[in-house]
Amino acid sequence: MKKAIFPGSFDPITLGHFDIIERGAKLFDELIIAIGINAEKKYMFSLDQRKQFIQACFEKNTNIKVVTYSGLTIDFCQKNDVRYILRGLRNPADFEFEKAIAHTNRHLSSIETVFLLTAARTSYISSSIVRDVIRNNGDYTKLVPKSVRI
């Protein structure tokens, strides 16, 4: 069974994440959406809210599971028999950042990283942009799945 993890903070999940998850779910037998817990980060949405947003998006997808975790992603992978990390790339800066992490993960474990390019229609969307739009009372609904529309 080919299992992959798609890790992130998902604060909140965006249409870009949604696109990568939908496409990734077709490539793997099981795709684990893993919401990372970082005690040093200040989140806009609670961990429970973020998990609920994602679960609502994919409730009909039987090969998608949503979990939370803390610590190194490769440790989670090794404990859960996950061989692949799925990452989305929006631009060259994402690639450079993700490449360094992928090389490090590969050096420390046998975990492979699989990159998918975001769809052109969502390549400009990031969670930080969505949070900024929300903070300033803008119309964020075109940037997130329906489950996030609060």
Edge-first strand order for the sheet with 84-89 is 64-69, 30-36, 3-8, 84-89, 112-117
- Catalytically annotated residue among 50, 51, 127, 147: 127
| Catalytic-residue membership of 90 | yes
Judged by phi (left if over 0) then psi (alpha if -120 to 50, else beta), residue 69 lies in beta
Long-range contacts of 17-22 (CB under 8 A, 24+ apart): 17/88, 18/57, 18/145, 19/88, 19/118, 19/119, 19/122, 20/86, 20/88, 20/116, 20/118, 21/57, 21/58, 21/64
Cα(98)–Cα(86) distance, rounded to whole angstroms? 11
| Catalytic-residue membership of 41 | yes
Distances (CA, A) of 148 to 12, 15, 33, 131: 7, 10, 16, 12
- Catalytically annotated residue among 65, 90, 99, 106: 90
Query: Among all residues, which ones are annotated catalytic?
Result: 17, 41, 90, 127
